Amino acid sequence: MRITRMALQYRKRLIVGIIAIFLASGFQLAIPILIGSAVDAAIGLDGGTVDLPNGTVMRAIDSATNVFGEGNNPPKTALIIIAVFLFIASVGRGMSAMFQNYMGESIGQHIGYDLRMLYFEKLQRLSFSYHAGVHTGDLITRGILDVEGVRMFVQTALLRSVFLVVLIGTGMYLMLSQDLTLGLISLSFVPFVAWRATATNLKLRENWYALQDRLSALTKVMDENLGGIRVVRAFSSQNHEMKKFDVSSNEALALANTQVGIRAKNISLMGLAFMISMAAVLWVGGQRVIDGELRPGELTQFIAFMSILLEPVRQIGMMVNGYARGSATGGRLFSVLDLDPTIQNKPDAKDLEITNGTLEFHNVSFGYEEEHTLNGVSFKAEPGHTVGIVGPPGSGKSTIAHLVPRFYDPGEGFITIDGQDLRDVTIESLRKAVGVVEQDTFLFTASVEHNVAYGDPWAPDDRVTAATKYAQLGDYIERLPGGYDTLVGERGVSLSGGQRQRLSIARSIMLKPYIIIFDDSTAAIDAATEQRIRAALTDLTKDRATIIISHRLSSLMHADEILFIEAGKIVERGTHAELLANGGHYSDLYELQIRPSDDSRRKHDEGGLSQ
């Protein structure tokens, strides 16, 4: 019903398509009558007159024969007139069918476009928690195969239903009204063929969905392989990956072969039923022609009607399958379209107003599903000050970075910027004010300039250049053959890890956000380059709040306040000197990371002096 309502948005096209269906059915049903009359006219060539049956088409032929047949052989003239009418009916049927198919396909393509846009737009708005629990390959499959299934519903189910009702219903009425006994024999194949066609297509639909699942799995294998192509090459695992892909491909092939077998078997059975009915019609009808109870042309009409009805009756199964497929694919697709993002604007949300740029956590707690990640976290980040966050893996550091731009909302407590609860402001204005540079960087297959200017594609060149200079990437880019127009490969595979992170830093700072969060974003950058980046950013961040999350103490030792987080709680806080003096977790981490290098450097220096 939802797909049908979408089709009704294109009412003019739908009306033209339905009119074309009636015209195509009328022309197609006229063809058997014309062929039967042609047989009678041909037999009449041996005599002198042609006795045509009653009917609108036949009265038109009879009138034309009387007009053009004066002084000529009436049967011969009738044959010529019938041939002309047959040509007109064939052309009319072809033109009407063309309009019917065109309108049906046009409506389907428009619905497909609408659904693709709605689906993609919904994926842009769905929360991070949704994307974290679903595989990208499955989403791609829904966006392609399921949209295709819904798109085809208009032509294969909706318009086909009208066509089959008109054609089969009218055809059966004409046959039964002409001769009840012979009509029933002629239509005896219909129930069996309709049943087998429906059962076959439902079975094929079941197999098709299993095949779709296999193709989805195949997509996942390929997506993961291409995404980790460097790892595959590094470990020489091409053969292993080929075997994985071969297993998935064979599973898809087996289902495809099953479908071929089902289709071939049932097409043969339906053809056999049709031939048996036709043989019965020829036997009974032939006897009646011999007895003079039936004209040869009338028997020919029954055979022609049967031949015309065979394909539409087979299409009953395709129509049922179209409804089933449209329902199933539509269900999968609408299940996503009907989702409400967990993170969304309140009805009365206002744009964030920056007066100072102070970020504050107020007793914030958060958990992913049943896992509690943060417990009672409170701190303040003011403009011109840097807050460093350190702790063991899984302690909740990155969760803090994800809460500030509202990728997630706190379970308890609240977060404010200049006293405004983040849940009360619009998401767009918030994310313009907050820049997050993550460790896992993603780059688009585009030029360096387009990747840097992604947040503001119309930014002037000098802002792009300045951002890359701050990120200590400008000199490298200028040495590239194409400069800023150099194409970056998919996921940035043409750049090193450190270069990708620096480009990601440039992309964030180009927007000049009021609050900048570096979530372990310099892990792949050497210490010397990191020091230069920090020095370059000093001027940029002097009036902005900065949060640095890192495992490496050298990245945040200069911070105005350092928070040591363990098991979701702030267990230590203070400056670098204060935390060292306390002799707690931070001091222990410092001994592990910094002292060994200091000792080795001192021993090296002493060794050089003694020599």
For residue 422, name the pLDDT band (cuts at 50, 70, 90): very high
Q: What is the pLDDT of residues 137-155, one digit of tens each?
A: 778 878 888 888 888 888 8
Percentage of the chain lying above the pLDDT 90 cut: 16
- Note the pLDDT tens digit of each residue in 472-491: 888 888 888 888 888 886 55
Q: Which amino acid is at 316?
A: I
- Structure confidence by residue, pLDDT tens digits, 92-101: 999 999 998 8
* pLDDT attached to residue 198: 77
Beta bridge partners of 359: 381, 417
Diameter over CA atoms, the chain:
135
Phi, psi of 369, deg, nearest 5: 55, -115
High-pLDDT (> 70) share of the chain, %: 90
Q: How far apart are the first and last CA of the chain?
A: 89
The yes-or-no verdict on residue 293 having pLDDT over 50 is yes
Q: Using 50, 70 and 90 to split pLDDT, how confident is the model at 364?
A: very high
Cβ-in-10-Å burial (0-12, 13-18, 19+) of 545 comes to buried
Q: What is the mean pLDDT of residues 105-124?
A: 90
Predicted local distance difference test score (pLDDT) of residue 608:
43
pLDDT at 74: 64
CA distances from 468 to 438, 475, 513, 532, 581 (A): 17, 9, 16, 13, 38
Distance of CA 39 to the CA centre of its chain: 55
Average pLDDT, the chain: 82
Residue 603: per-residue pLDDT: 47
Fold of 359-574: Rossmann fold (3.40.50)
Burial track 364-381 (b if 16+ CB lie within 10 A, e otherwise): bbbbeeeeebbbebebeb
Q: Is the pLDDT of residue 65 over 60?
A: no
pTM exceeding the 0.85 threshold for the entire prediction: no
Between CA 245 and CA 563 the distance in angstroms is 47
- Which CA distances in Å does 608 have to 84, 282, 338, 597? 110, 112, 71, 16
Q: Identify whether the C-beta of residue 147 lies closer than 8 Å to the C-beta of residue 115.
A: yes
CATH of range 2-337; options 1.20.1560.10, 2.60.120.1440, 3.30.565.10, 3.40.50.300: 1.20.1560.10
Indicate if the alpha-carbon torsion angle 365, 366, 367, 373 is positive or negative. Answer: negative
Question: For residue 71, is pLDDT > 50?
Answer: no
pLDDT at 471 over 80: yes
When pLDDT is cut at 50, 70 and 90, the band that residue 20 belongs to is very high
The 3-state DSSP composition of the chain as helix, strand, coil percent (nearest 5) reads 65, 10, 20
Average pLDDT over residues 359-380: 87
Tell me: pLDDT of 595 over 70.
no
**What's the one-letter identity of residue 500?**
R
Secondary structure (DSSP) of 18-69: HHHHHHHHHHHHHHHHHHHHHHHHHHGGGSS---PPSSHHHHHHHHHHHHH-
Distance set, CA 94 to CA 25, 235, 548, 611 (Å): 11, 60, 71, 100
Residue pair 85/60 in contact (Cβ under 8 Å)? The answer is yes
Contact yes or no for 472/530 (Cβ under 8 A): no
C-alpha distances out from residue 314 to 278, 324, 346, 463, Å: 16, 16, 53, 65
CA-nearest of 279, 213, 222 to 251 is 213
Q: Using pLDDT thresholds of 50, 70 and 90, give the confidence band for residue 117.
A: very high
Alpha carbons 173 and 157: distance in angstroms, whole number: 23
Crossing angle of helices 461-470 and 527-540, in 10° steps, is 130
pLDDT in tens, 218-264: 877 887 787 778 777 877 778 888 888 888 888 888 888 887 888 78
- Rounded CA-CA distance 230/551 in Å is 25
Residue 142: closest CA among 297, 334, 2: 334
pLDDT band at 35 (very low <50, low <70, confident <90, very high): confident
Contact (CB, 8 A) for 45 and 76? yes
What is the tens place of the pLDDT at every residue in 307-337?
A: 888 778 777 777 777 777 788 788 888 888 8
User: What pLDDT, on a 0 to 100 scale, did the predictor assign at position 195?
Assistant: 84
The residues near 602 (Cβ < 8 Å, ≥ 6 apart) are none
Q: At what angle do helices 74-125 and 56-68 cross, to 10 degrees?
A: 140
The answer, yes or no, to whether residue 378 has pLDDT greater than 50, is: yes
